[in-house]
Structure 1
Amino acid sequence: MNPLDPAGIFISFEGGDGVGKSTQSRLLGEWLREVTGRVVVWTREPGGTDLGRVLRQEVLHGDDMDPRTEALLYAADRAHHVATVVRPALERGDVVITDRYLDSSVAYQAGGRSLAADEVERLSLWAVEDLLPHLTILLDLDPTVGAARLTDAPDRLERAGDEFHLRTRQAFLDRSAQDPARWLVLDASGTQEDIHDAIRAAVVTRLGDALGVADGASLGEREVG
Structure 2
Amino acid sequence: MKKGKFITIDGVEGAGKSTQISFICDYLQAKGINVILTREPGGTDLGEKIRELLLSTKTKSMHSDSELLLMFAARNEHIHEKIIPALERGDWVLSDRFTDASYAYQGGGRGLDAERIEQLEQWVLQDFTPDMTLLLDIPVEQGMSRVESRGKKDRIELEAMDFFERVRQAYIARSEKYPERIKLIDSSRTKEHTSAQIEQILASL
Check whether the contact 1:47–1:53 (CA below 8 A) recurs between aligned residues. yes
Question: Separation in 1 of the partners of 2:122 and 2:141?
Answer: 31
In structure 1, which of residues 29, 40, 46 is the aligned counterpart of residue 35 of structure 2? 40
Per-residue CA deviation, residues 146-174 of structure 1 (Å, 9 max, x unaligned), is: 11112131112111101110001000000
Name the counterpart of 1:179: 178
SS in 2 for 1:132: coil
User: Structure 2 counterpart of 1:24, which letter?
Assistant: Q
Aligned pair in 2 of structure 1 residues 56, 152: CA closer, same or farther (>3 Å)? farther
2:49 corresponds to 1:54? yes
2:194 corresponds to 1:195? yes
Name the counterpart of 1:158: 157
User: Structure 1 counterpart of 2:203, which letter?
Assistant: V
- The 5 Å alignment of 1:67-78 reads 67-78=64-75
Question: Separation in 2 of the partners of 1:84 and 1:92?
Answer: 13
Check whether the contact 1:67–1:109 (CA below 8 A) recurs between aligned residues. yes
- The 5 Å alignment of 1:2-41 reads 5-35=1-31, 37-41=32-36
SS in 2 for 1:46: coil
Question: Separation in 1 of the partners of 2:19 and 2:123?
Answer: 29
Check whether the contact 1:26–1:42 (CA below 8 A) recurs between aligned residues. no
Check whether the contact 2:2–2:84 (CA below 8 A) recurs between aligned residues. no
Matched residues, percent identical?
40
User: What displacement does 1:64 show?
Assistant: 1.6
User: What displacement does 1:120 show?
Assistant: 0.9
Which protein has the larger Cα radius of gyration, Structure 1 or Structure 2?
A: 1
Question: Separation in 2 of the partners of 1:22 and 1:121?
Answer: 28
SS in 2 for 1:41: strand
User: Structure 2 counterpart of 1:59, which letter?
Assistant: L
- The 5 Å alignment of 1:101-116 reads 101-116=98-113
Check whether the contact 2:35–2:93 (CA below 8 A) recurs between aligned residues. yes
SS in 1 for 2:15: coil
Check whether the contact 2:4–2:87 (CA below 8 A) recurs between aligned residues. yes
2:126 corresponds to 1:126? no
Please identify runs of 4+ aligned residues in structure 1 that moved more than 2 A: none
Question: Separation in 2 of the partners of 1:42 and 1:9?
Answer: 12
Q: TM-score, normalised by structure 1?
A: 0.86
User: Structure 2 counterpart of 1:51, which letter?
Assistant: L
Calculate the aligned-residue CA RMSD, in Å. Answer: 1.2
In structure 1, which of residues 117, 134, 137 is the aligned counterpart of residue 134 of structure 2? 137
In structure 1, which of residues 91, 96, 99 is the aligned counterpart of residue 88 of structure 2? 91
User: What displacement does 1:122 show?
Assistant: 2.3
Unaligned regions of 5+ residues in structure 1, if any?
A: 208-225
SS in 1 for 2:133: strand
Corresponding pairs, count: 201
User: Structure 2 counterpart of 1:27, which letter?
Assistant: F
Question: Separation in 2 of the partners of 1:52 and 1:152?
Answer: 24
Check whether the contact 1:141–1:188 (CA below 8 A) recurs between aligned residues. yes
Question: Separation in 2 of the partners of 1:9 and 1:122?
Answer: 25
User: What displacement does 1:6 show?
Assistant: 4.7
